[in-house]
Chains A and B, each alone.
Chain A
Amino acid sequence: MKNINRSRRQFLKTGGALALGSTLPISLVELAFAEPSQNFSFAYISDAHIQHIKGARFVRNWDMGLKRAVAEANLLTPKPDFVMFGGDLAQLGSKEELDHGAEIMSALSHKLRYVMGEHDYYLDLGAYWEKLFGPQYYSFDHKGVHFIVLNSIRTYDDWTYKRWPTAEQRMLEMAGLDNPNGSPFMVGDEQSKWLKQDLDKVAKTVPIVVFSHSPLQKIYKGWNFWTEDAEQIQALLKPYKKVSVIYGHVHQIQYNQIGNISFNSVMATAWPWPYPSTYAQAEQYLPKLTVPMNRADPFFERDATGWQFINVANGNVDLNFTLYNNTDRVVRFDNLKKQPQDRDYQAENARINPQRHY
């Protein structure tokens, strides 16, 4: 396991040809263009699920996961330009949880930006979250890259506004997996309109990075590894030369290529989900490109929570994953195949064996 400082320096020197990951449950994203001076990086933390018990008590395990990510992000040198948080800071969207999560995040010595997750949203539809962190969807430019942040976890107005007697129940229904009372995530018309207007201002050659919480592709509906209007959003992004979507929510490594769009998930700091293919109760479309992580060690609360050291070289993203107590993974954009690929484990016989030490 190489040290991140060194690999980042190496990357900044070499344009990311061989940058290696380290061990933080955050993502560090590097962008590189023809101009080395344009290289920059940002860190990515996601899915902390801070959970309130009562009074001043919170679920220790989720706290520890986020604290570790924050402590390690502070060790990065040179400092990343900013930190993204990928959504689901809270477990049930309460003021206590968002405050507590924001407080842990406040130990970061970097500029912070947030993506909305469904666990943050469905109690008060983002009202308190907006007070803390700002708008639910927005865009910004940074050193030649156009970044777009979407709230991709909305759903039908009918479900949101008319179905549930209380806000708490609405939150609980959306927090459950395999819940027949749930409803599929979507970006929705309001944001689609905004997105189109926003993109119209961007030259087709400018690299675009989209941050969403849900995948912006359709993987498994039962757990909302899903975005109902994924095709429409993908269509809006199609005219652009280099597009990367980086999403949270799935708590596992996934990667895919659809046309010009590379998809990469980021890890959670809270817990890992199993792959839908090991469980699917209904049709699932786990990307063929994805090689699943080996099973997490249930003894180690932090195992299979991890981070990605992401290089975006010439607008393509390369992810270097580190899983606690587990084997590193690298998913690089393959310039010949024009898709992300885990070269080490793509072959069946090269996969990581299950652990045998307990």
Chain B
Amino acid sequence: MRPLLLITLSAAVLSCSQAVYSQQSSAAVATPATNAGDSNPLLGLPPVPVPANNPQTPAKIALGDKLFHDKRFSIDGTISCSSCHDGDKGFTDNLPVSIGHHGLRGTRNAPTVINAAFYKSQFWDGREPDLEGQSKGPFVNPVEAGLANHEPILQIVRSDPEYQAAFKQVFNAGGEQLSMDHVSKAIASFERSIVAGNSAFDRFYFKGDKSALTEQQHRGFQVFLAQGRCVSCHSIEQDHALFSDSRFHNIGVGINAIQGDVPRLAPAFLEAKAKGGDVDKMVLTDKKSSELGRFAVTDGFNDLGAFKTPTLRNIALTAPYMHDGSLKTLKEVVIHYNNGGVTPANAQVNAFLSGGIRPLNLSDAQIDDLVAFMDALTSEQFAKPRPVAATQGDHHEKH
């Protein structure tokens, strides 16, 4: 059994049904919510933002699900979206940086798909505004699926009878009219169905159930709100909590690798970009370019080494952490913040450090409490012990 996922049929109407993620068929089966005594599985989340030109429908989500798991859309037939965003691993791959075709490594840690629908921009550096745009990139990145262009994908979906029927049904498109926009819309719709709230935190904070958290987690939440300053970026609103501000901050991770080199590197990157260099390729294939962070998108020095605030929902499932996967545990993450974003191993000053990052003077007990609190952010459907994933069939990448 894969963890249960949610499918939101519409952003406006929170009538949610659950889909059983089966290994035999990747088509989502809508069933009524049956968790006895369970509160709203989307507790703590706002309505899913859905673009007007791409409404959610069950058929479209099912089609996106199929595309998401199709390995044929890669240069060697081994890589699908789910290779790095594996439903059994919190929709990540639990690797520091992802592995693409022929074992090639990129520069960045695969972000979870769960609740990605809520970000104001996609990718660690926000270089795509939405999931539609985001979903196209990895197919043609040299260290991911490795295709030269999207043409092979279109050839498959235009000729495969199952896809033909599905695209006809969902978009009324076929043949030459069937474009990459249709493919990306379907994938994005599937991704928008992967939303999960209803964690112990949500039951405490939005339902008033104090017993949902342990004593230690309650103490950790106070650290989260006050001395730890976490909530300033991992935000909690009055009626929902995304645990991300969707903004970009230099928190002192990775920048040290290029600090002394920035005066040469930044102008060189802009030069390459001006000459038509592909940002997506540059940042995923070149470690130094990757560490420029949001700067690669905006050209603003204010964004040097800045990366998007990731949601903390289900964070316990998605180790290792940070944009480069350089921190193995949540405790390491908290220690990094507690040190004011300064890596002890590196004495060099990070001049571009966000003004929000400073030493926190947390005690060891407070650090442990904060880590315990983050365990309370795992959604109900992922919180259950998950059976070890079966390895038959073609669903699981061996990394």
Q: Is B266 an interface residue (CB 8 A)?
A: yes
Q: A5 near B270 (CB under 8 angstroms)?
A: yes
Q: Is A220 an interface residue (CB 8 A)?
A: no
Q: B299 near A2 (CB under 8 angstroms)?
A: yes
| CB of B289 to closest CB in A, whole Å | 15
Q: Is A105 an interface residue (CB 8 A)?
A: no
Q: Is A3 an interface residue (CB 8 A)?
A: yes
Residue of A nearest to B262 (CB): A75
Give the docked Cα–Cα distance between A61 and B355 (Å).
8
Q: A325 near B351 (CB under 8 angstroms)?
A: no
Q: A358 near B232 (CB under 8 angstroms)?
A: yes
- Range class of the B interface residue count: 20 to 34
Q: A1 near B300 (CB under 8 angstroms)?
A: yes
Interface centre among A6, A23, A67, A303 (most CB of B within 10 A): A23
Contacts of B266 in A (CB 8 A): 75
Q: Is A204 an interface residue (CB 8 A)?
A: no
Q: B232 near A299 (CB under 8 angstroms)?
A: yes
Residue of B nearest to A302 (CB): B355
Contacts of A72 in B (CB 8 A): 301, 351-352
Q: B355 near A325 (CB under 8 angstroms)?
A: yes
Q: B351 near A300 (CB under 8 angstroms)?
A: no
Chain B binding surface, main DSSP class: loop
Give the docked Cα–Cα distance between A330 and B302 (Å).
17
Interface residues of B in 217-267 (CB under 8 A from A): 229, 231-232, 235, 245, 247, 262-263, 266-267
Q: Is B298 an interface residue (CB 8 A)?
A: yes
| CB of A274 to closest CB in B, whole Å | 18
Contacts of B247 in A (CB 8 A): 325, 357
Give the docked Cα–Cα distance between A77 and B263 (Å).
9
| CB of B237 to closest CB in A, whole Å | 9
Interface centre among A22, A68, A303 (most CB of B within 10 A): A68
Known contacts A6-B299, A302-B355; is-contact A75 B263 (Cβ 8 Å):
yes
| CB of B341 to closest CB in A, whole Å | 10
User: What is the interface size of chain A, counting residues whose CB is below 8 A from a CB of the partner?
Assistant: 31
Residue of A nearest to B264 (CB): A75
Contacts of B262 in A (CB 8 A): 71, 75
Residue of B nearest to A323 (CB): B302
Q: Is A70 an interface residue (CB 8 A)?
A: yes
Q: Return 28 A-B CB contacts under 8 Å, by A number.
A: A1-B302, A1-B303, A2-B299, A2-B300, A3-B300, A4-B301, A6-B299, A22-B300, A22-B301, A23-B301, A23-B303, A24-B301, A60-B359, A61-B358, A64-B349, A64-B353, A67-B349, A70-B351, A71-B262, A74-B263, A75-B262, A299-B232, A301-B356, A303-B355, A305-B355, A324-B302, A325-B355, A357-B245
Excluding A1-B298, A68-B351, A358-B235, 11 further A-B contacts by CB distance (< 8 Å) are A1-B299, A1-B303, A3-B299, A22-B301, A60-B359, A64-B353, A71-B262, A71-B352, A300-B354, A305-B355, A357-B245
- Which 3 pairs show the lowest CB-CB distances between chains A and B? A302-B355, A23-B302, A71-B351
A residues engaging B (CB < 8 A)?
1-6, 22-24, 60-61, 64, 67-68, 70-72, 74-75, 77, 299-303, 305, 322, 324-325, 357-358
B residues engaging A (CB < 8 A)?
229, 231-232, 235, 245, 247, 262-263, 266-267, 270, 298-303, 340, 349, 351-356, 358-359
